[in-house]
Amino acid sequence: MMDVGRHPNITLYSYSEVDALTGFVGNFHITIRRKARYVVESECTACNDCVEVCPVVVPDEYQQGFSSRKAIYIPFPQAVPSAYVLNMEECLGNNPIACGKCAEACEKKCIDYDMQDELINIEVGVVIVATGMEVYDPTELDEFGYTRHENVVTSMEFERLICAGGPTEGHFLRPTDRETPKTIGFIQCVGSRSENRGNPYCSNICCMNTVKDTLLLRDHYPDIEAKVFYIDIRAFGKGFEDLYKRSREGGVKYIRGIPGEIEENPETKNLLLTVENTTTGQLEKHELQMVVLSLGLVPRHDGDLLKRFLTLSNTVDGFLMECHPKLKPVDAPTRGVFFAGCVEAPKDIKDSVTQAGAAAARASILLNAGKVKVEAITSRIIEEKCNYCGICARVCPYHAIMEPDRKAKKAPVVIQAACAGCGTCAAECPQDAIEMRHYRDEQYLAQIEALMAERPHEHIVTFACNWCSYPGGDDAGTARLQYPTSCRLIRTMCSGRVDEDFVMHAFRLGAPIVLVSGCHFSDCHYIDAVQWTQKRVERMWNKLERLGIRPERLQLDWISAADGQKFARVMRELEEMLKTVTMEEIKHTMEVLSNGKAEKKATAAKKAKVKKKTPTKKAKVE
């Protein structure tokens, strides 16, 4: 911590937040709001004179409320920067008549009641998001009585009670009688691994944290009897099993089963735990003098703004989604942005440090290069076709398209470095005024025509995204999962690229079934482009219905990269469906779609205002 404060290359803005962030890889513009500290940071010597005279006493957050602090305070003795901060909401008022004692006491005159928030603009090339996590609040788990029984504490409170720098100066005392408890219980998975309340995931650190706590207790108080109530003990890291073994051999009792209830003896304030021991199958009761709830970790509640600034999304657990869970675990899907620590998933200190090092190294690659190449698959606006509707700018998951100006007839502008090439804009553009470099409409239409050139009625035209469904098909191949030969696959970078024209063209040329497949919503490699896939396919279903074509002949499925089983299953299911599509049905579809008027009518019925280009030339089928 001290190293950060004095490193010549680091500018530390503490008590500060990111107010605004724009730009793209290599070129981020940030506004930092430096909140008013009311103490001139550079002048303060942390002499404590101001604290002594401050009359306002409030609970100390750092000590988990076990002790108090003043309205002007230093968070903890080793704080960096080593400077006081005045909490203006707690201060008797920056009205010197009401109080003003600290300003009087400060010899260096570094207390300034009139200090204002300061806005600082900086330019950077890369961003590392290390905003961390929060600790689960056990209040909702009423059976543990955290709010009712004083001797039920959280694992974070335990840390302060055992710490030499804590409120009891390292004497481990229980809250009710300030005596060292003779018996103590730890309850694991509080807020974790639960489908009902709390979170379904494992919080990673709590097992080992409890093992550590039991070892600390045994070092300080060898006579304390400790019991750990658990589901399983996950001691998977280097040296972890060893610590766990030491804890067990030191006499800590590990009981497999989570207590259903904690009751308090009103006189002794001791706690009575009822637990089903799943090893013995017995219902047990344990009387303990103190209980520690081993809390899980949860995503930060205040991360939404940053997520919006950087176009980040999260996985189902609420933590930020990485670019690739195995191959790019510290890269954000947005280029030039990296993750370090628990913001990506719960992890311990070692893993946080490892990931931080990896993030720094990944960021250094860009910084050292001094320039970044953009894969030539980005989108390009064809200005003469554009009618300035702005749909492209609205659907772009990366905000890489600057809104058009209808009045000034200024077409939208694609920021090449920010474009990831998903092609959602090109598929959504009602004017076909967007071209994807290397993945142009003509190429897809030509591929469809080539695939439909022979025996089109036997083929399932499959659009598969580059990141999930296509490798899902690869996975089926690697596992040698056999499925019918009818699939004819076309790769798109994202399922969001699949234009209505592609699907209709396949049907027009005699395809019995078309499958659009992409990543699951939580895995989408283009943040949330897949939502546009879904919306577009729904639109197409409606259109097919209006045209008298069975909508189920257009299928939509999400297949992940590791799910070859599903890929093969979908292909088998579609083969069955294929058998239900008659030649008459296919011929009817071909006729309807080759008749520009009918298709136009169906489109017009839905989007009266939006002009839709329809091919006029009759499709050629061999």
Partner 1 sequence: MTDEMKKPDDLRIGVFVCDCGLNIAGTVDCRAVAEYAETLDDVVAVVRNKYTCADPGQNEIKRAIEEHNLNRVVVASCTPKIHEPTFRNCVAEAGLNPYLFEMVNIREHCSWVHQREKEKATEKAKDLIRSGVARARFLEPQIEEEVPVTKAALVIGGGIAGIQAALDLADAGHKVYLVEKEPSIGGIMAAIDKTYPTMDCSI
Within 331-360, the residues that bind partner 1 by CB under 8 A are 336, 338, 340-343, 348-350, 352-353, 355-357, 359-360
From 3-11, 225-233, 535-543, 598-606, give the range in contact with partner 1 by CB under 8 A.
3-11
**What element of type H or E holds 319?**
none
Give the alpha-carbon dihedral of 423, 429, 432, 436, to 10 degrees. -20
Rounded distance, CA 275 to CA 315, Å?
34
Is residue 178 part of the contact set for partner 1 (CB under 8 A)? no
> Can you tell me the distance from the alpha carbon of 220 to that of 234, in angstroms, rounded to the nearest whole number?
25
- State both tokens at 296: 């899980």
Q: Is residue 260 a contact residue for partner 1 (CB under 8 A)?
A: no
The residue among 338 and 532 lying less far from partner 1, judged by its C-beta, is 338
Nearest to 24, CA basis, from 361, 336, 401: 336
Identify which range of 13-21, 194-202, 317-325, 392-400 contacts partner 1 by CB under 8 A. 13-21
Nearer to partner 1, 7 or 182 (CB): 7
Contact between 130 and partner 1 (CB under 8 A)? yes
CA 127 remoteness from chain centre: 16
Closest separation in Å from C-beta 204 to partner 1: 12
Considering only the stretches 45-53, 286-294, 440-448, 550-558, report the one whose residues sit in contact with partner 1 under the rule CB under 8 A.
440-448
Among 301, 480, 579, 597, indicate the residue that binds partner 1 (CB under 8 A).
480
**Min. distance of Cβ 483 from partner 1 in angstroms?**
6
Tokens of 560: 């992940």
The Cα–Cα gap between 449 and 104 comes to 84
Task: Decide if residue 18 touches partner 1 (CB under 8 A).
Answer: yes
Count of residues binding partner 1 (CB under 8 A)?
A: 134
What would the two tokens of residue 546 be? 């209006």
159 binds partner 1 (CB under 8 A): yes
Region binding partner 1 by CB under 8 A among candidate stretches 190-198, 210-218, 276-284, 392-400: 210-218
Nearer to partner 1, 211 or 391 (CB): 211
In the block, tokens 């080793």 appear at 78
Tokens of 409: 């007839």
Residue among 61 and 142 whose Cβ is closer to partner 1: 61
Q: Does 68 bind partner 1 (CB under 8 A)?
A: no
Q: Does 367 bind partner 1 (CB under 8 A)?
A: yes
Residue 288: enclosing H or E segment and its boundaries? strand 282-288
> Which 578-607 positions form the footprint of partner 1 (CB under 8 A)?
none
Fill in the per-residue mask, 43 to 62: x = in contact with partner 1 (CB under 8 A), - = not in contact: -------------------x
User: At closest approach, how far in Å is the CB of 260 from partner 1?
Assistant: 29
By CB under 8 A, residue 483 contacts partner 1: yes
The nearest distance, CB 214 to partner 1, in angstroms, is: 11
Residues contacting residue 545 through CB under 8 Å, at least 6 positions apart: 551
State which of residues 46, 58, 202, 445 lies at the interface with partner 1 (CB under 8 A).
445
Identity of the amino acid at 263: E
Q: Alpha-carbon distance 595 to 423, whole Å?
A: 28
Q: What does the alpha-carbon distance between residue 233 and residue 483 come to, in Å, rounded to a whole number?
A: 42
Contact residue for partner 1 among 114, 195, 454, 584 (CB under 8 A): 454
The structure tokens listed for 552 are: 């189920």
Give CA–CA dist 24/21, Å, rounded: 10
473 touches partner 1 (CB under 8 A): yes
Whether residue 465 contacts residue 475, with contact meaning beta carbons closer than 8 Å, is answered with no
| Candidate ranges 96-104, 315-323, 367-375, 601-609; the one touching partner 1 (CB under 8 A) | 367-375
**Residue 327 and residue 310 in contact, taking contact as beta carbons nearer than 8 Å:** no
Residue 374 is a binding residue for partner 1 (CB under 8 A): yes
Taking alpha carbons only, the member of 80, 75, 51, 46 closest to residue 61 is: 75
Beta-bridge partner residues of 558: 518
566 binds partner 1 (CB under 8 A): no
Examine residue 81 and say whether the peptide bond preceding it is cis (omega within 30 degrees of 0): yes
CA-CA distance, 426 to 424, in Å (whole number)?
A: 5
Residues 6+ apart with CB under 8 A from 608: none
Residue 13 sits in the site that holds partner 1 (CB under 8 A): yes
State which of positions 22-41 bind partner 1 (CB under 8 A): 24-28, 30, 32, 37
Q: Which of these segments, 125-133, 388-396, 526-534, 596-604, binds partner 1 (CB under 8 A)?
A: 125-133
Q: Which is nearer to partner 1, 92 or 366 (CB)?
A: 366
Q: Does residue 417 interact with partner 1 by CB under 8 A?
A: yes
In this structure, are residues 80 and 12 in contact, taking their beta carbons and an 8 Å threshold? yes
Choose, by CB under 8 A, the member of 98, 305, 382, 446 that binds partner 1. 446
Please compute, for residue 480, the number of CA atoms within 13 A of its CA located in the half-sphere on the CB side: 0
260's CB contacts (< 8 A; 6+ apart) are 143, 274, 275, 276
Can residue 105 be called a binding residue for partner 1 (CB under 8 A)? no
Q: At its nearest, how many Å lie between partner 1 and the CB of residue 240?
A: 6
221-250: which residues touch partner 1 (CB under 8 A)? 237-240, 242-243
> What amino acid occupies position 473?
G
Distance CA 109, CA 50 (A): 10
Of 256 and 380, CB closest to partner 1: 380
Please identify, using beta-carbon distances, which residue of 80 and 592 lies nearer to partner 1.
80
Q: Which residues pair with 436 in a beta bridge?
A: 379
Take residue 150 and report the two structure tokens written for it: 């004083």
Q: Does 510 bind partner 1 (CB under 8 A)?
A: no
Closest distance to partner 1 from the beta carbon of 149 (Å): 23
When asked if residue 375 is in the footprint of partner 1 (CB under 8 A), the reply is: yes
